[in-house]
Amino acid sequence: MIFDVVVVGSGAAGIMSSIKAASDKKSVLLLEKMPKIGLKLKATGGGRCNITNKLGLEDFINSFGRQGRFMRDALSEFYHDDLIKFLSDIGLQTHAPDGFRVFPLSHDSKSVLDVLRAKMKELKIDIKCKQNVQKIERNSELFTIVTKTDKFQSKHVVMATGGLGYSTLGASGDGYRFAKSFGHHVTDLHAAMIPLHVEDKWVKNCRADTIAKVTLKIDLPKMQKIHKTGDLIFTKNGIRGRGVLDFATEVTPLLDRYEKVPLLANFTKGMNENQIQIFLKQEARKNSQKEIVDILQKILPPSLSQEICSLADVDCVLTYSKIPGFKKEKLIKLLAWTPLSVIGHDGFEKAMITKGGVVLKEIDPKTMQSRLVKGLYFCGELVDLDGPCGGYNLQWSFSSGYLAGCLLSA
């Protein structure tokens, strides 16, 4: 049998492509190398699946940086309202408990997969798991898709093989290899959305402290403008938390060039040196006997207050007035920007996202079709786009999968 389309990979992108193509009466074969479909989708959002968010289109596009404008056509075709309506039509209710991030009402990613699976069954999509695609070739008008055990033929191929993160959930990087075999280029690939390891031993003493609204910036020439603000959690050898995961995207490529990447962290919810000085003086005036560590605990967790005192070489039981002037200055500087040195990360195995992918200029954003090979489509994380935490990456996978599944030609 010659299929209208073979979709390789059953993540959010591949599933949505299959559903769209089958809804348009195309015969669809979905090939997945893992024993079950949608394993990564099921693991998203800590098992709760943050499907999308409520951001306006322009802001959403900007969240993906300079590359974001590539997404305009796909998002215009199928954005969050379309996704939420589609899911509702197939039986999944969603909500946004914080008014921004959208989850299934059940808060269980399995319920998302269940309705998608039911829809695929209704559309008679041929799903074959444990089919590890080895090679894709194009001979005259048809593609031949070779797996370890079988060969399939189709008029179109949608590549939805995802990135390199979490191989236990199916990531393999095969899609990059297939893309290259068709003459496509792939950018450098980096682990992104990943906890970072730091050289600073003191962080382990602050383990399990979650600090909100921490601003992180890169302390390298011409890079101080790169900053992110969000939650930070100290670990035994580094930092994690949503703010760190988003910021890691900026840091991991630098680790290829530098042994260490110096960061500066503001743990005081954005207070600058002047504001910190005013705060310390005010607190000391309110209670002249208060130890500096107790004053700091008004704005920092106890363990971090102690560590910052010791970094400034300030005895934490001193009152503010007893601290020598030059040490006060050092303390204030450290409170405004605490240095951290990133020396590594958890590796691709723990990377929620891959930064980089199939080069965008070789893909037509109006169709997601290859500009080099007619009938070949790309979607999802496989292409050179990565967004922050908060439903951005799944929305992109669903939107690009939908557009690819339209099987449009320029």
Ligand X SMILES: Cc1cc2nc3c(=O)[nH]c(=O)nc-3n(C[C@H](O)[C@H](O)[C@H](O)COP(=O)(O)OP(=O)(O)OC[C@H]3O[C@@H](n4cnc5c(N)ncnc54)[C@H](O)[C@@H]3O)c2cc1C
Site for ligand X contains 170 (CB under 6 A): yes
10, 237, 367, 399: residue in contact with ligand X (rule CB under 6 A)? 10
Per-residue binder mask for ligand X (CB under 6 A), 339-358, x = binder = -------------xx-----
For the record, the structure tokens of 361 come out as 């200029």
Per-residue binder mask for ligand X (CB under 6 A), 239-278, x = binder = ----------------------------------------
Burial profile 89-114: b = 16 or more Cβ within 10 angstroms, e = fewer: eeebebebeeeebbbbebeebebbbb
Site for ligand X contains 238 (CB under 6 A): no
Provide the minimum distance between the beta carbon of 152 and ligand X in the complex, in angstroms, as a whole number.
Answer: 12
User: Within a 10 A sphere around the Cβ of 31, how many other Cβ atoms?
Assistant: 25
Burial profile 144-164: b = 16 or more Cβ within 10 angstroms, e = fewer: ebebeeeebebbbbbbbbbbb
Footprint (CB under 6 A) of ligand X, residues 130-159: 132-133
Site for ligand X contains 17 (CB under 6 A): no
Contacts of 387 (CB under 8 A, 6+ apart): 63, 64, 353, 393, 396
Size of the site for ligand X (CB under 6 A): 40
What does the DSSP assignment read for 276-300? HHHHHHHHHHH-TT-BHHHHHTTTS
> Cβ closer to ligand X: 144 or 277?
144
Provide the minimum distance between the beta carbon of 154 and ligand X in the complex, in angstroms, as a whole number.
Answer: 14
> Cβ closer to ligand X: 162 or 241?
162
Site for ligand X contains 44 (CB under 6 A): yes
Q: How far is CA 400 from CA 44, 75, 136, 252, 366, in A?
A: 18, 8, 21, 26, 10
Site for ligand X contains 34 (CB under 6 A): yes
Burial status of residue 275 (CB atoms within 10 A of its CB: 0-12, 13-18, 19 or more)? middle
**Options 44-52, 54-62, 66-74, 282-290: segment touching ligand X (CB under 6 A):** 44-52
> Cβ closer to ligand X: 81 or 273?
81
Provide the minimum distance between the beta carbon of 48 and ligand X in the complex, in angstroms, as a whole number.
Answer: 7
Residues 229, 270 contacting (CB under 8 angstroms): yes
Residues lying near ligand X in the complex (CB under 6 A) are found at 8-14, 31-34, 39-41, 43-45, 49-50, 132-133, 160-162, 165-166, 170-172, 174, 352-353, 380-382, 391-394, 397
